[in-house]
Amino acid sequence: MTIHSIFKLITTVFLLLMFFVYRDVLILQIIAWSLFVINLLMPTKVWEHLEKKWRN
């Protein structure tokens, strides 16, 4: 698994938790949406660069 796929999985699980479990906790919603936005905005080349750094 790549870093990008792990990050997507964590973001998806966190967002699902926000929708169904922790609706009233504002700070967790802010964290979940910021992760989601980072995931959307960060291009694939940045993820590949992070992957190379992480593996070395």
Low-confidence stretches of the chain (pLDDT beneath 70): 1, 22
Name the residue ranges covered by the structural domains of the chain.
3-55
Specify the pLDDT at position 11: 82
Confidence (pLDDT) at 1: 65
For residue 51, what are its two tokens?
């992957």
